[in-house]
């Protein structure tokens, strides 16, 4: 059996009872460690599970899946994913490869950013397409996500923006030279995401959003230090959101009054007047 197990968003205790039972029954345990991170290291997981855990980087999952699936027709193997197995990212390829080899697969779900984002006060029913934001480079400033945001905004829906993380990444030079030298981990901040989004709006000028568009910075969701800060995109540019992981919500124009009452609680006192004024002017209840 191949178990694909969601770990939730915070620490070793977020795993479900069903997931923990599967881990305990597995001969090998792999932790997917490139699409997101837990707030604890693998040693903490090993202590809790009382079993060794192998960190599976992008290269192993995408190019060496045979190592993960080896002999899984005869023994139990657990593949651990932060959040939900099919939440912010999908591991469909691994599941398909397992089935091609005649390996039974069982998915064990958990909380992910895709449902936990409701804690910001906005209804999950009112979210549109989710987008991912990657770091811009000097010669690469992708904006393929921009039409998705505009489509959401045109029909009044909220947009969840997932922010880039770089774990065990190689520089272009080291990659070209075949050197297994990896860059230090990096995690995009809400501030960087906003800078990039406003740059693209200025460039394209299609009025998908702007400096006065209301948004929510959502950080360390599901942890003891979870935090939300709401305001205009311009106001959030200057906020210190602290440690990772960060995500962002661009609020849709059809914000229900109950959503407004919830989100207003995340607005710093000095910005509430501006928030209320923009809501009354630009947003439908």
Q: Residue 113, annotated ligand binder?
A: yes
> Using CA atoms in the order 120, 35, 161, 196, what is the torsion angle rounded to 10 degrees?
130
Q: Residue 7, annotated ligand binder?
A: no
Q: Residue 68, annotated ligand binder?
A: no
Q: Residue 158, annotated ligand binder?
A: no
* Segment 223-234, tens digit of pLDDT: 999 999 999 999
Q: Residue 109, annotated ligand binder?
A: no
Q: Residue 246, annotated ligand binder?
A: yes
* Segment 43-71, tens digit of pLDDT: 999 999 999 999 988 778 777 889 999 99
* Segment 149-201, tens digit of pLDDT: 999 999 999 999 999 988 766 566 666 666 666 667 789 999 999 999 999 99
Considering only CA atoms, give the Rg of the chain: 21
pTM score:
0.91
Residues 6 or more apart from 277 whose CB is under 8 A from it? Answer: none
Distance from CA of residue 110 to its chain's centroid? 14
Q: Residue 91, annotated ligand binder?
A: no
Q: Residue 84, annotated ligand binder?
A: yes
Token code pair at residue 179? 């050197």
């Amino acid at each position: 059996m191949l178990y694909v197990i969601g770990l939730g968003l915070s620490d070793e205790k977020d795993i479900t009872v069903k997931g923990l039972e599967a881990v305990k029954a597995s001969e090998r345990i792999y932790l997917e460690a490139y699409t997101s991170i837990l707030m604890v290291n693998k040693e903490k997981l090993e202590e809790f599970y009382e079993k060794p855990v192998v960190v599976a980087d992008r290269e192993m999952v995408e190019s060496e899946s045979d190592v993960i699936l080896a002999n899984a027709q005869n023994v139990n193997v657990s593949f651990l994913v932060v959040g939900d197995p099919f939440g912010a990212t999908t591991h469909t390829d691994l599941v398909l490869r397992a089935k091609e080899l005649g390996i039974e697969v069982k998915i064990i779900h958990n909380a992910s950013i895709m449902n936990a984002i409701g804690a910001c006060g906005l209804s999950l029913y009112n979210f549109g397409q989710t987008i991912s934001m990657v770091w811009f480079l000097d010669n690469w400033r992708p904006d393929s996500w921009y039409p998705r945001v505009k489509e959401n905004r045109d029909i009044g829906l909220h947009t969840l923006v997932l922010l880039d993380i770089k774990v065990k990444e190689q520089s272009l030079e080291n990659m070209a030279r075949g050197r297994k030298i990896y860059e230090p981990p990096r995690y995009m901040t809400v501030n960087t995401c906003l800078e990039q989004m406003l740059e693209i709006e200025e460039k394209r000028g299609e009025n998908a959003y702007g400096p006065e568009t209301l948004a929510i910075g959502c950080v360390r969701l599901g942890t003891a230090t979870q935090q939300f800060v709401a305001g205009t995109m311009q106001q959030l540019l200057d906020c210190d959101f602290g440690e990772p992981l960060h995500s962002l919500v661009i609020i849709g124009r059809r914000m229900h009054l109950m959503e407004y009452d919830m989100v207003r609680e995340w607005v710093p006192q000095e910005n509430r007047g501006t928030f209320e004024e923009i809501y009354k002017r630009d947003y439908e209840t």
